[in-house]
Amino acid sequence: MERIKWVSNKLPRTDDRQLSIMSLENVDKARRFHESFPQYSVTPLANLKEMAQALGVRGVFVKDESYRFGLNAFKVLGGSFAMARYIAGELNKDVAEVDYAYLTSAKLREEFGQATFFTATDGNHGRGVAWAANQLGQKAVVHMPKGSAKSRFDNIAKEGAQVTIEEVNYDECVRMAAKEAAQTPRGVVVQDTAWEGYEEIPAWIMQGYGTMAAEAARQLREAGIERPTHIFVQAGVGSLAGAVQGYFANLFPDKTPVTVIMEAQAADCLYQGAVAGDGKERFVTGDLQTVMAGLACGEPNTLSWDILKNHASAFVSCPDWVAAKGMRRLAAPVKGDPQVISGESGAVGMGLLAALLEDDKCKDLREAIGLTRDSVILMFSTEGDTDPDNYRRIVWDGALSTDEI
C-alpha cells in the first residue's frame, strides 16, 4: 500500500505581503457580492458528532459544497467574483456597485458589452466560469486535460461554453488558455493559479473562495465553537488552500489554527517545495494521474505559496486510497450524523483524519500536528459526485480500498 508522506513546515518566512489578499474586508466584499445572486444560500456545515466520538476527538465539521449554486462544487465562488472585479475595473466602478442585478442588466450590456473568458479546468472551475459567464451574458472558452470525465465535460458544455478535452495535462491547458486569450479581442484569462505577471485575477478568485471560509467560521460560532483547533484543506495549485489559510490567519492572527495542506501524491508540488525547504517553488510534471482530478495540478500558485510558507503547519502527500476512504466514511456516516456526498477531491480530508486517528503508522504526523481528544477539526468537502460513475465505483463497489492496493 502506498504510504502517506508528510513534512512539517520549516520553510523560510517572507514579508507576508500576500496575506492582505485575504483580509476580512476583502472577503466581506466577496461574500456580499455572492449574496446578491438569487441562487445564493449558505451551504451546510455538517457536524459529525458521532464520527468525532468514534475517532476520539472533540469535534469534526465538514463544509458541504455540493449544494453551492446547484453546481455540486465550490469553484463558482472564485470565477464569478473575478469576473465581477474585472468588469468593475473596466468600468471604473467599485465591485460593491457591480452586483448580480447590474451584471445581468441591459445597462451592463450597453456600458460593457461582452468579453470572452478563457480558462483551463479539471472540471469544477471550468463549470463555475461557464455558469457565471452564461448567467452574466458573457462568453467562455474552457480547455480540459486528457483523461477528463465526460460528465464534467457535459456539465460545462450545458452552460453554453466552448469546451475541449486536450491531449495534454492541466498545466499545459493553462498555457493554452492564456495564449488564446492574448490573441482574442477582449479575451481574459480567469485562472485560479498565479504566475509572475498574472496575479490580479487569481487574487480575486482566492477572495471569492473566502466566502466559503467566512460562512464556515460563522457556522462554527453558531455551533458553539469559537475557533477550530485544526483545519484540513486540500490543494491543487494551492488557491483554495491559500485562501482558507489566509482568511483564518487574518481572523485569528494571535492563534491561527493548525493547518494541514493535503495534496494528491501524483501532483504534490507544494509538498515537494516543503521537502526542499528553500522556499522556492517546485513543479511536478507528467500526466499527473490521480483519482483526485481537481487536485491534479503540478505548478503552484505563487500567491498562495507565499501565504502557506508563512502560516501552514504541515504538508501531506496523499495516495488515492486516502480520498477513497474519506468518500466512503462521509457517504456512510456513523448513525446519527448527516451524510455528505463528497467527491474524490472533496473527501481527502476525512480519509486523512481517519488514517491519522486509527492507524499507528501515522502516529508521527498525528503527534506532530497535536491531534488530541480536545481537537476540533474543520474540513471542506469541495465537491459532490461530479463524476457519478467513479463515485459509485469507489463508494458502492469498493474501488481503491486499502485491501486491494
- Residues in contact with 95: Cβ distance below 8 Å, sequence separation at least 6, in sequence order: 29, 33, 81, 84, 85, 88
- Whole-number Å distance between alpha carbons of 235 and 333: 24
Query: 63 has which bridge partners?
Result: 45, 380
122 a catalytic residue: yes
Rounded-to-integer distance, Cα 27 and Cα 166, Å: 34
Question: Do residues 299 and 283 make contact, with C-beta atoms less than 8 angstroms apart?
Answer: yes
User: Any idea what the Cα angle at residue 71 is, between residues 65 and 72, rounded to 5°?
Assistant: 40
C-alpha cell at 284: 511536478
List the catalytic residue out of 29, 63, 64, 122: 122
Catalytic residue among 29, 63, 75, 309: 75
Four-point Cα dihedral 264, 270, 272, 274, nearest 10: -130
Distance (Å, rounded) from C-alpha 231 to C-alpha 234? 10
How far apart CA 261 and CA 236 sit, in angstroms, is: 10
Q: Are 1 and 324 in contact (CB under 8 A)?
A: no
Is 359 designated active site?
no
CA gyration radius, the chain: 20
CA-wise closest residue to 150 among 405, 386, 398: 386
Residues designated catalytic: 75, 122
